[in-house]
Structure 1
Amino acid sequence: MNTSGLLLSLMAVVFSVILVYYQYYYRQKPTKDSKAFSFLRLISVLGILMLLINPKFESKRIELQKPQLFLTVDNSASISHSGFSKISRSVRQLFLEDKELNKRFDLSNFSFGATISTDTLLQFDRDHSNLFKAIQDINSLSDDRLSAIVLLSDGNQTYGSNYAYMSSKNPIFPVVIGDTTARADIGISRINVNAYATLENNFPVELFLNSNVNQDVKSSLIIERNGVELYRSNVNFTEKKKSIKLSLYLAADTVGMQLFKARLIPFDGERELTNNSRSFGVEILDEQAEIAIVYKVLHPDLGMIKRSIETNKQRRAVLLQPRELDSVSKDYSLYVLYQPDKSFKGLIEQLELKQSNLFIITGSQTDWDFLNDAHIGFYKEMTAVTENLFPAFENDFNAFYIEDIGFEFFPPLKGQLGRISFNQNPGFLLTQKIDNIATNSPLLAAYRHNEAKGVVLFGENIWKWRIHCFSADGSFEKFDQFFNSLIQFLQLSNREQDLDLFYKPVYHEKEPIRIQAKKYDSNLKIALNSTLVFELNDSLKGVPFYVENDAYEVQLKNLKDGVYTFKVKDLDSDIEKGGSFEVVPFSIEQESEEPNVEDLSLLALNSGGKLYYQDQFDALKSELLENPRFRTIEKVRTNLISLIDWRWLLGLIVLSLSLEWLLRKYRGMI
């Protein structure tokens, strides 16, 4: 009890004694009941005073607070795939059974995949791993005590934010699980291919091959379809040449979705074979197309355009003047407008009403006043200056796939200078260079105008480009492939079919498979009032489509690897369309067997911890036990406790007052 409380309590006793003495002995003559009355009154008065004073005393309690140790184990499939699941279990067991660590720390055991879990049964079967979220969740579980996080992992994260530079309030001690010796490996990292190709033509395929082998490695790249080999090429990696870009052409000889597989033959001793093969698909279209090349001025470009288009056996180009179109009733699949002027007015108005796609080529004889007034999606501020425009290839062009065929060495086109603007965001395939000075002005651009798409070339003399390709390669093939890619982009953008299907040719196992269908009415507007049914592998049982985001959609799950064919039927009409796709076995956790030591090292450094390997348990144990940051803290808790329980004291006061009143009543003194 503190001094003030003790002093007040003594004063309360003295005051109570004086008050009782005054009432029963000084003010009146004592009787035989005075002692009983004075005793009860003393208890009542003293109790009331003590209730008001409420004297307290201090109670001290000593607590030993251990630091926390969060043991977090990677439970993803990459651990079992690399063959280190037993080692991971044994390392975890060393921590759980170590008496010194358990005596020093409050040890908590967790596992994680995509999320953190308290499940202590390690199966190493999680399809994804998110180290960032696991560490973030562990930090949120820790209290104000300084804690340590021991992370048993290979460091391979399949998704989530980069954990290497994350901030952590607790030091992290990663324990690397896996073989840190780099394994010799070659693989296919990426394949670029257009989604569509036309029948009886060749379509381009671009492959990127990688190696991490510090010596010469010989292999072969094979591309096959339905088990039949279509292409084979020898591939040679060296210590300095660890990346190879391979471009080739495959024949589009069968209509429909065609599935291909690219395989890189493994070398002797190669263990990781998952990335040695990749599948891809291309839909082959049988399109008999007739294209109108509309011109007013004669130019060598016209013959070049016609010859280049007709290298595709499925296309026929017709040269027409604007006045001839008045007597031609045929509706062409695409119109190429060469240096349009006022005589094109009627044609452009009709094409605008139909929302047709256009390929426009301008030059020195283009009537820009007319073209600007036509409002066809772009505008050019005219100048009287004509200049030689050299092409510069833009790598970030993504409207469709096209490769650089050496544009920087092409001769210049002739065009008029002027600022160019588009109504909607365009994609620039080529930009202008003037006297070797790069500009931001487009030379060849793809754009959108309302519901239509267009391609515009701001220069004439493109025939020189075709001649240049022949001089460089001895063939027109590269240029014709480039030019027909522009034509194909515009043709495939037209919605000429009543039912369009949208799906990927290749899906990974366990990946949701979404098949979309769009149906159009006679005005080419999306119709959502039909009953569509999906049939897989000629099954008699159809799955109905549901409407999602202005399209019909169906989702398939849990399909095993293999090739699947399907049909989409419109029950309200005779429309039916089919397709095929392949499901390939895949686990992103199996993509890499090597631990990510670099990111784990950065994580340890940035959090104030230290990196260890799976065979360094004793070293990590010593670090945790000897580190002064993880000492047991002795805390003294001081509590003020009331000397008297007010409930009992209040009851005693009531009892004494009641007894005094009854006794006085009995003696007739009230």
Structure 2
Amino acid sequence: MKPKIQMVDSFNEKPILIFAQDDSESIVAGSDSTFYKNNYQDSLRNFLYNLNNQYDVRLMTFGTSCKESNEFTFTQKQTNVDDLFQKLENQFNASNVSDIIIASDGIFNTGKVKSNYNFKNAEIHTILLGDTSLTYDFSINRINTNKYAILNNYFPIEVVIQSNTYFEDVNVFLKENDRVIDQKKVNVNRGINKILFEQQAIKSGAHQYNVELTSALKERNSVNNKASTVVEVIDYNQNIVIISTCPHPDIGVIKEALNDVQGVKVKSFLEDDFKENIIDYNLVCFYKPFSSKKLIKRIDDCQSNNIPTLIFTGNNLDNMQNYFDRIALKKKTKFKGTNLVESHLVNDFKDFKIDKEWFNLWTTLPPLSVPFSANYSLKSNVSILLKQSINGVYLQDPLIYYHKIDGIKHGVVLGEGIWKWKMHQYQKTSSAEYVERFFQKVFQYLKKIDPKKRLNAIVPKITLEDEDLILSAEYYNENFEMDNSLELKLYFVDSIGNKYAKKMNKIDDNYQLILRDLKPGYYSYSMKFEVADLTFSDEGHFSIVKSKREWNNIVADHITMKTISGKSNSYFFRDLNKLVTKLIDSYDKKLITRQKMENKNLLDYKWLMFLLLIFPFLEWTIRKYNGLI
């Protein structure tokens, strides 16, 4: 065995001092911008140099993001002090941080600002930067408008103006494509002012509106007098009409379900009240049409014009064999009277996805009244969604099914009484969500989709440079259901011709990608992939615009800074020598003495071995000399 010895070494660990610099644009937006651009960093380095012997100094910048850095650019587009403390918590939680110095103008425009920031036992100091002199200024605080507007409808654009004094004759210009489309001259009071414009959506697509304020009084800061917003004008992409021979509560169920679907416009008429052109509609629903020659003619018009239809036959089809071609029934099918039947979903229905909850639900719904036949005979091109059942016995007789005529899908509901389904579910659950969603899918499947539009890219037209650009896409397979089993790529080009390619991420049934830190400018994009011999693509453009968040208010807020650190711990830049003295005088109280313990081989310490052996040897020699041995 080798003898061991335990060595203990004590040493003092320097306390960590974190200097966090606000690196946002507002620092250089005031009248003292020349100092911050040219002299500030050199002066700051001298200040920190005086502390290097006593402290382990770490430099950080914060604004849009927070990181360790000793380079200040004052170009960040927003200021988030709360993010700074979260970063400190994550990065220095186990460290001996004794002091935090925050140098900022106190203009925090993102995130929360707390009055009780603390980090372990560290003392927080603030350096008060920026210009606190109040200059007369008005600015666009925000623009309130609808994200979407319906074609030909009017929509509001509300301009919220913030002012620190009273202004007369302020011109408010509303522009589109650099053309003034409306303007108002207003008097602006101190505080918040709201100016309302009403615009008509006269063309579908994305529209960028620019607002600009002008006044005879020259302001020091005019950057905050301009702002933009985007409104997407949509044309109803599915106009549906319900035409019936009589009033019926089933029609109300259908309308309520479809009114909740964005992009769907629903009208209903009794047969004699319908005076419109049938070809103006994307889908026509007929309720009990076979008792009316007028509606039978309407059905023929739809089928000859390739307009999808959904026909609710009602519960009487006696002696109507001449009309069976229109609902994919063979003429040999005989109907006599009515019958009450329950329903069950078809397990192998593949034309669209069926929610799992529906299978159990549909077996509990009240019966419908249907035309009775002992021998339903359907044509071969039929896809059955719902079949009949009686007292829990599943029948093969159809209840809801689809068929095609010249490649156009049509739907048939044999019977009436779906209003009972909605009432039953509402009584059980206080919601008719499942029944409504079921009929939304029944109608959605009939929608005509251009194969070229099976890939749909969803990209915001305008995004601020300090915000994430969130792109998404939907691909519809041959059954016109969202499908993301294939790899989709995004290709985009900036305004100077640089090309980029990114792989879209798969999220649920669609695709999504988040892009950050894109430079302001105009971008064109395309998304594409190939399936067999077909290429699916969608393309368009988007713009990244400069953020003026840091210019909305350029008056330094030293009250907030003093709240963070306490009044006694706040310093102007010219008084940094006082902070240096305080930190140097107190650093020895912040030292931590640590011990390092090691096990060493005793044989490695020859001098120690010599001492251990020399004393016994001397004792033996003395005893021997004195005759004691």
- Asked if structure 2 preserves the Cα contact closer than 8 Å seen for 1:219 and 1:265, the reply is yes
Per-residue CA distance 1:64-99 (angstroms, 9 max, x = gap): 999875443323333234465554575675565469
- Asked if structure 2 preserves the Cα contact closer than 8 Å seen for 1:565 and 1:579, the reply is yes
The CA distance in 1 between the partners of 2:590 and 2:55, in whole Å, is 13
Per-residue CA distance 1:470-527 (angstroms, 9 max, x = gap): xxxxxxxxxxxxxxxxxxxx99997845232211011223756454332212322124
1:166 is paired with a residue of what secondary structure? coil
Q: How does 1:154-193 map to 2 (within 5 A)?
A: 154-157=105-108, 162-168=113-119, 169-183=121-135, 184-193=137-146
Corresponding residue for residue 365 of structure 1: none
Corresponding residue for residue 59 of structure 2: 110
1:374 aligned to which of 409, 417, 421 = 421
The CA distance in 1 between the partners of 2:591 and 2:457, in whole Å, is 70
Larger Rg: 1
Q: How does 1:321-470 map to 2 (within 5 A)?
A: 322-324=287-289, 327=296, 328=299, 330=302, 370-371=417-418, 373-375=420-422, 379-381=425-427, 420-423=430-433, 449=437, 452=440
Q: Report deviation, 1:192.
A: 2.3
Q: Does 1:504 align with 2:460?
A: yes
- Asked if structure 2 preserves the Cα contact closer than 8 Å seen for 1:515 and 1:553, the reply is yes
Per-residue CA distance 1:258-285 (angstroms, 9 max, x = gap): 4333333466333142462113142444
Report how many aligned residue pairs link the two structures.
484
The CA distance in 1 between the partners of 2:500 and 2:86, in whole Å, is 46
- Asked if structure 1 preserves the Cα contact closer than 8 Å seen for 2:47 and 2:576, the reply is no
The CA distance in 1 between the partners of 2:42 and 2:92, in whole Å, is 22
> For residues 274 and 236 of structure 1, do their structure 2 counterparts lie closer, same or farther at Cα, with a shift above 3 Å needed?
same
1:222 is paired with a residue of what secondary structure? strand
Query: Which deviates more from structure 2 when the two are superposed, residues 151-160 or residues 80-89?
Result: 80-89
- Asked if structure 2 preserves the Cα contact closer than 8 Å seen for 1:174 and 1:600, the reply is yes
> For residues 189 and 162 of structure 1, do their structure 2 counterparts lie closer, same or farther at Cα, with a shift above 3 Å needed?
same
Per-residue CA distance 1:564-600 (angstroms, 9 max, x = gap): 4555556543655443322212265445423343432
Q: How does 1:204-243 map to 2 (within 5 A)?
A: 204-239=155-190, 242-243=192-193
> For residues 265 and 98 of structure 1, do their structure 2 counterparts lie closer, same or farther at Cα, with a shift above 3 Å needed?
closer
1:180 is paired with a residue of what secondary structure? coil
Counterpart amino acid of residue 233 in structure 1: K
- Asked if structure 1 preserves the Cα contact closer than 8 Å seen for 2:30 and 2:554, the reply is yes
- Asked if structure 2 preserves the Cα contact closer than 8 Å seen for 1:292 and 1:335, the reply is no
Give the share of equivalent positions with the same residue, in percent.
14
1:195 aligned to which of 145, 148, 170 = 148
> For residues 449 and 136 of structure 1, do their structure 2 counterparts lie closer, same or farther at Cα, with a shift above 3 Å needed?
closer
2:480 is paired with a residue of what secondary structure? coil
Corresponding residue for residue 610 of structure 1: 569
Q: TM-score under structure 2 normalisation?
A: 0.57
Corresponding residue for residue 597 of structure 1: 558
1:264 aligned to which of 213, 218, 226 = 213
Q: Does 1:581 align with 2:542?
A: yes
5+ residue gaps, structure 2, are 256-265, 313-365, 372-384, 387-397, 403-415, 597-605, 625-629
The CA distance in 1 between the partners of 2:174 and 2:193, in whole Å, is 19
The CA distance in 2 between the partners of 1:513 and 1:334, in whole Å, is 40
1:452 is paired with a residue of what secondary structure? helix
Corresponding residue for residue 76 of structure 1: 24
RMSD of aligned alpha carbons = 6.1
The CA distance in 2 between the partners of 1:126 and 1:148, in whole Å, is 25
The CA distance in 2 between the partners of 1:559 and 1:144, in whole Å, is 35
- Asked if structure 2 preserves the Cα contact closer than 8 Å seen for 1:70 and 1:138, the reply is no
5+ residue gaps, structure 1, are 1-50, 355-368, 383-418, 425-446, 455-489, 664-670
Counterpart amino acid of residue 183 in structure 2: R
- Asked if structure 1 preserves the Cα contact closer than 8 Å seen for 2:445 and 2:480, the reply is no
> For residues 630 and 312 of structure 1, do their structure 2 counterparts lie closer, same or farther at Cα, with a shift above 3 Å needed?
farther
- Asked if structure 2 preserves the Cα contact closer than 8 Å seen for 1:132 and 1:160, the reply is yes
Counterpart amino acid of residue 282 in structure 1: E
> For residues 565 and 533 of structure 1, do their structure 2 counterparts lie closer, same or farther at Cα, with a shift above 3 Å needed?
closer
